[in-house]
């Protein structure tokens, strides 16, 4: 069992070059805080051009197309928008809520992708202060990022993972 994501950290120009050469087109990422969650600080840090502490968000990369849908996005709307934009990755930011509501919400999103028969088309990634990679895998996501994750770490991981998937034909 992998307890944390261990991906070599790459510089932004290395990431752009890698995606261009090995993936052949920009990676489309759709992100939101889902359900009743209204905490967008983490999501904004990863996606928005400004990024966090001098580390630019995905919008700054030439080989990412990042769409930030904001807060309190219902799972159905998030999935519909991801499909409309032909997303490669759905990034959900989830701050822990009472009565494990975040786990129900994440599981529900996975269930929706399976019901629509699109689960294998999307890489599902979740981040938040109480999220771990192990927890993400447990609820059916491909990856989970916890507190202190930088935009560059996410950019490096997504690039390398999407290329690995393309090369393996999955």
User: Active-site positions?
Assistant: 50
Q: Which of 36, 122, 37 is nearest to 79 (CA)?
A: 122
Instruction: Specify the residue for token string 């494990």.
Output: 100
Query: Would you call 55 helix, strand, or coil by DSSP?
Result: strand
Does an H or E element contain 90, and which? Answer: strand 89-93
Strand, coil or helix: 9: coil
Residue carrying structure tokens 């994440």: 106
């Amino acid at each position: 069992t992998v307890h944390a994501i261990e991906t070599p950290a790459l510089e932004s120009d290395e990431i752009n070059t890698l995606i261009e050469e090995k993936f052949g087109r920009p990676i489309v990422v759709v992100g939101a805080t889902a359900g009743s969650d209204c905490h967008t600080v983490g999501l904004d840090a990863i996606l928005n051009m400004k990024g966090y502490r001098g580390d630019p968000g995905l919008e700054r990369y030439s080989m990412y197309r990042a769409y930030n849908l904001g807060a309190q996005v219902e799972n159905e709307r998030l999935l519909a928008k991801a499909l409309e934009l032909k997303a490669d990755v759905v990034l959900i930011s989830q701050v822990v809520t009472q009565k494990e509501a975040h786990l129900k919400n994440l599981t529900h999103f996975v269930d929706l992708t399976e019901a629509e028969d699109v689960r294998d088309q999307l890489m599902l990634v979740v981040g938040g202060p109480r999220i771990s990679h192990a927890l993400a895998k447990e609820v059916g996501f491909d990856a989970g990022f916890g507190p202190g994750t930088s935009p560059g770490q996410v950019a490096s991981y997504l690039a390398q993972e999407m290329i690995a998937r393309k090369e393996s034909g999955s």
